[in-house]
């Protein structure tokens, strides 16, 4: 690696891999990310080098990955995580089942989804900052935003770094790298601070980068232009009063229409009932609260705070929506 490249290494105190061996790099980086095929392109293995620095948080990590020369990388399906890749040096060609993307510093990054087979070529001593997000966490957040059960989420793999959304993602991952470097390997974020960072990352990606649930989220959140104003008022009232018992008369008054018209409107425009939407709002808040809970907090106390009165029904609905019990979410992130 040349002197200029060495001077721009990020997360240097978090070194996990530094090698000139292709086999060693594939094995070591594969243990951190996932097993993959790694091959130098156009030069002998004597020109090859690999570096991977990784700062891990609860549910996500920020990484600096750099290769000397040009390499092909074939991870297949990532399976367990999403990868947001921001190039710092060189370029990368990304091929997924959806499309082909070429990335370059300040112009374009990539966002890889775990269910989409991927092949990559990193060229010109490419170095990237990489945000790894746990698949289950992102799919839970998407389900909460869309009022749907947990399912696979697939993003458009091309991230435009020249527009405001791209600028925000650049700032977000840059802030995380700066934070990790300021803390150093010996210190960690508190669980609450890590949860706050994680939720902001998830919301930013799911509300900005196009993906398979984008329209469902827009509909559930009342952001579709053709939605009647009465339904938008009703949706906002449910959000504001989510921890209180449902009162259809008050809801109809707030919306400015009759109860029957409101019930028909929810089915036609949201594809659900009023009570089901309220439950989805409460379940989404429960999921977020569990992920940010203090060590001494209990599921039952959080559930009662959010308006759940039948705990067995709540637990059953939560499992159907998120694929695990509330206590499993609490244990996994505590």
Return the pLDDT at 316.
92
187 domain residue, yes or no = yes
- Among candidate residues 171, 195, 215, the one where a domain is terminated: 215
Q: How many CB atoms lie within 10 A of CB 330?
A: 18
Q: What is the mean pLDDT of residues 207-218?
A: 90
DSSP 33: S
Return the pLDDT at 78.
94
pLDDT at 44 over 80: no
- Among candidate residues 151, 180, 215, the one where a domain is terminated: 215
Q: Are residues 254 and 202 in the same domain?
A: no
Return the pLDDT at 49.
93
If one compares 263 and 43, the residue with the highest pLDDT of the two is 263
Secondary structure of residue 185 in the 3-state scheme:
coil
Q: Are residues 66 and 202 in the same domain?
A: yes
Q: Are residues 116 and 178 in the same domain?
A: yes
CATH code assigned at 78: 2.60.120.10
Assign residue 74 a region (left: φ > 0; alpha: ψ between -120 and 50; beta: otherwise).
beta
Q: Are residues 14 and 73 in the same domain?
A: yes
Q: Are residues 166 and 229 in the same domain?
A: no
Model confidence at 1, in pLDDT bands (50, 70, 90)?
very low
Q: What is the mean pLDDT of residues 51-79?
A: 94
**Range in 37-46, 68-77, 172-181, 302-311 with the lowest mean pLDDT:** 37-46
Residue 85: HSE in the Cβ half-sphere, 13 Å Cα cutoff: 26
220 domain residue, yes or no = no
DSSP E strands in 57-115: the ranges are 60-68, 70-76, 81-96, 100-103, 108-112
Distance CA 110, CA 207 (A): 16
Model confidence at 4, in pLDDT bands (50, 70, 90)?
very low
Return the pLDDT at 93.
96
Assign residue 42 a region (left: φ > 0; alpha: ψ between -120 and 50; beta: otherwise).
left
Q: Are residues 160 and 126 in the same domain?
A: yes
Q: Are residues 53 and 138 in the same domain?
A: yes
CB 66, CB 51: distance < 8 Å: yes
72 domain residue, yes or no = yes
Model confidence at 13, in pLDDT bands (50, 70, 90)?
very high
Strand partners, 129: 64, 86
76 domain residue, yes or no = yes
251 domain residue, yes or no = yes
Model confidence at 334, in pLDDT bands (50, 70, 90)?
low
Q: What is the mean pLDDT of residues 251-274?
A: 89
Model confidence at 139, in pLDDT bands (50, 70, 90)?
very high
CB 308, CB 277: distance < 8 Å: no
Distance CA 158, CA 169 (A): 13
Distance CA 326, CA 300 (A): 9
Q: Are residues 313 and 236 in the same domain?
A: yes
Q: Any residues with CB less than 8 A from the CB of 154 and at least 6 apart, and which?
A: 98, 113, 115, 116, 211, 212
103 domain residue, yes or no = yes
234 domain residue, yes or no = yes
Q: Could you tell me the sign of the dihedral formed by the alpha carbons of 226, 231, 236, 242, in that order? A: negative
Alpha helices in the chain (DSSP H): 3-7, 22-32, 135-146, 164-183, 191-208, 214-220, 229-240, 248-255, 259-265, 274-291, 299-305, 311-322, 326-332
Using alpha carbons, select from 22, 109, 28 the residue that is nearest to residue 68.
22
Question: Radius of gyration over alpha carbons of the chain, in Å?
Answer: 23
Return the pLDDT at 5.
45
Which residue range(s) make up the domain with 237?
225-332
Q: Are residues 277 and 205 in the same domain?
A: no
- Among candidate residues 189, 215, 241, the one where a domain is terminated: 215
Model confidence at 217, in pLDDT bands (50, 70, 90)?
confident
**How many folded domains does the chain comprise?**
2
Per the document, the length of the chain is: 334
If one compares 282 and 3, the residue with the highest pLDDT of the two is 282
Q: Are residues 198 and 245 in the same domain?
A: no
If one compares 101 and 2, the residue with the highest pLDDT of the two is 101
Return the pLDDT at 6.
40
**Range in 25-39, 160-174, 318-332 with the lowest mean pLDDT:** 318-332
Return the pLDDT at 229.
87
Q: Are residues 271 and 177 in the same domain?
A: no
pLDDT at 114 over 70: yes
When the pLDDT of each residue in the chain is averaged and rounded to a whole number, the result is 89
Using alpha carbons, select from 166, 174, 175, 172 the residue that is nearest to residue 210.
166
pTM comes to 0.77
CATH code assigned at 307: 1.10.10.60
Q: Are residues 210 and 229 in the same domain?
A: no
Strand partners, 1: none
240 domain residue, yes or no = yes
């Amino acid at each position: 690696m040349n002197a200029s490249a060495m001077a721009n290494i990020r997360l240097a105190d978090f070194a996990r891999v530094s090698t000139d061996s292709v086999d060693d790099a594939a094995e070591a980086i594969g243990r951190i990310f996932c097993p993959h095929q790694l091959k130098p392109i156009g030069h002998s293995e004597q020109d090859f080098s690999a570096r991977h620095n990784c700062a891990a948080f609860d549910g996500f990590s920020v990484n600096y990955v750099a290769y000397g020369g040009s390499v092909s990388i074939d991870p297949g399906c990532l399976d367990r995580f999403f990868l947001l890749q921001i190039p710092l040096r060189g370029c990368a060609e990304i091929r997924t089942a959806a499309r082909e993307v070429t990335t370059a510093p300040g112009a374009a990054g990539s966002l890889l989804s775990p269910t989409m087979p991927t092949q990559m070529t990193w060229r010109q001593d490419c170095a990237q900052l990489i945000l790894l997000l746990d698949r289950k966490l992102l799919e839970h957040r998407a389900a909460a935003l869309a009022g749907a059960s947990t399912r696979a989420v697939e993003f458009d793999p091309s991230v435009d770094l020249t527009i405001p959304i791209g600028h925000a993602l650049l700032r977000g991952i840059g802030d995380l790298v700066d934070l990790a470097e300021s803390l150093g390997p010996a210190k960690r974020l508190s669980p609450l601070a890590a949860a706050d960072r994680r939720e902001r990352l998830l919301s930013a990606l799911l509300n900005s980068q196009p993906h398979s649930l984008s329209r469902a989220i827009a509909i559930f959140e009342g952001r579709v232009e053709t939605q009647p104003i009465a339904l938008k008022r009703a949706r906002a009232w449910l959000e504001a009063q989510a921890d209180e018992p449902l009162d259809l008369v008050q809801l109809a008054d707030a919306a400015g229409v009759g109860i029957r018209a409101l019930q028909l409107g929810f089915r036609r425009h949201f594809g659900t009932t009023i009570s089901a939407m309220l439950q989805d709002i409460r379940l989404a808040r429960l999921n977020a609260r569990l992920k940010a809970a203090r060590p001494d907090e209990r599921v039952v106390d959080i559930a009662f705070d959010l308006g759940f009165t039948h705990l067995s029904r709540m637990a059953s609905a939560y499992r159907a929506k998120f694929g695990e019990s509330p206590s499993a979410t609490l244990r996994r992130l505590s």
